[in-house]
Amino acid sequence: MARLFWEKLGAEHVRTGKPILYTSADSVLQIAAHEEVIPIERLYDICKAARKHADAARIGRVIARPFIGDARNFKRTSRRHDYSMKPPRTVLDELSERGVPVIGVGKISDIFADQGVTESFPTASNQEGMTCIDELWQERREGFIFANLVDFDMLFGHRRDVAGYAQALEEFDRWFGEFLPKISTDDLVIITADHGNDPSFRGTDHTREEVPLFVLDGTEQRNLGTRLTFADVAASLADYFDVQGWRTATSFLNRAIA
């Protein structure tokens, strides 16, 4: 968010006590408030009320944006909360209804409006997310661990912080190098993204790149090619957990591409 936005509207908000409402290029309504002006639970209640009215306009998410500080140094806190429009039926519903634990790490539960998620572990940073994955993996729970590492997008992509993004990638790379030996031949690990957010590009919005897709499933190394749809990931999860009849896309498991 531009510094001028913070200085002008943040100061007016502190003076009047009125929340700040704003939109961006994607389908979101964001509501910001200083934590000392509008308590965090009250901000969440405001967002819940807004969510009820946002469905008719097909607004994807209502986002609570708490912040702290003064006009010279307003900054967001980690207590953001997303209130999403209920999605159509997903593979998460199929898994959870079959008794497969679906464990969300980070914003996953928010993104899917709690639908199909059986247990949630909110996190405030990449490091918390990676630590949570480690702890869950060490417990060797059966089920699906679905995690997102939000710092790449929120802290470095939107803010166009190339150095910060690079450092975060290096930290993830080191962590994943230590995680790799813990993966058995029966496990399935997928690393991907839902959109681009090039920190070197102009503006502050998401950018349009083909996203990476790395899959470890205990088979030989192969090229998965360029997939036609994100839904291939869901189809592959259905394949892995033996969910019959999920035909929304094409599974990439056990399919070598020359």
Is 227 found in the same domain as 158?
A: yes
Residues 6+ apart with CB under 8 A from 135: none
| CATH number reported for the structural domain that contains residue 125 in this entry | 3.40.720.10
Domain final residue, candidates 22, 57, 84? 84
Q: What is the pLDDT of residues 167-207, one digit of tens each?
A: 999 999 999 999 999 999 899 999 999 999 999 999 888 89
Is 105 found in the same domain as 76?
A: no
Is 109 found in the same domain as 58?
A: no
Per the domain annotation, does 245 fall within a domain? no
Residue 1 reports pLDDT greater than 70: no
Is 132 found in the same domain as 65?
A: no
Residues 6+ apart with CB under 8 A from 194: 211, 230
DSSP 159-222: TT-HHHHHHHHHHHHHHHHHHGGG--TT--EEEE-SSB--TTSSSSS-B--PPPEEEE-SS---
Is 181 found in the same domain as 111?
A: yes
Residue 213 reports pLDDT greater than 90: yes
Per the domain annotation, does 253 fall within a domain? no
Is 136 found in the same domain as 14?
A: no
Give the distance from CA 97 to its chain's centroid.
Answer: 23
User: 53: domain range?
Assistant: 3-84
Is 230 found in the same domain as 103?
A: yes
Is 104 found in the same domain as 80?
A: no
Look at residue 5 in the predicted model and tell me its pLDDT.
65
> Which pTM does this prediction carry?
0.82
Both tokens assigned to 56: 């008719």
Residues 6+ apart with CB under 8 A from 129: 105, 106, 123, 147, 148, 149, 150
Is 120 found in the same domain as 217?
A: yes
Domain final residue, candidates 84, 113, 146? 84
Residue 223 reports pLDDT greater than 60: yes
Residue 258 reports pLDDT greater than 50: no
Residue 6 reports pLDDT greater than 80: no
**Between 91 and 217, the higher pLDDT residue:** 91
Average pLDDT over residues 66-72: 88
Is 204 found in the same domain as 97?
A: yes
Q: How many domains does the chain have?
A: 2
Is 201 found in the same domain as 100?
A: yes
- pLDDT above 90: percentage of residues in the chain: 72
Look at residue 113 in the predicted model and tell me its pLDDT.
92
Per the domain annotation, does 257 fall within a domain? no
Is 96 found in the same domain as 65?
A: no
Q: What is the DSSP letter of 135?
A: H
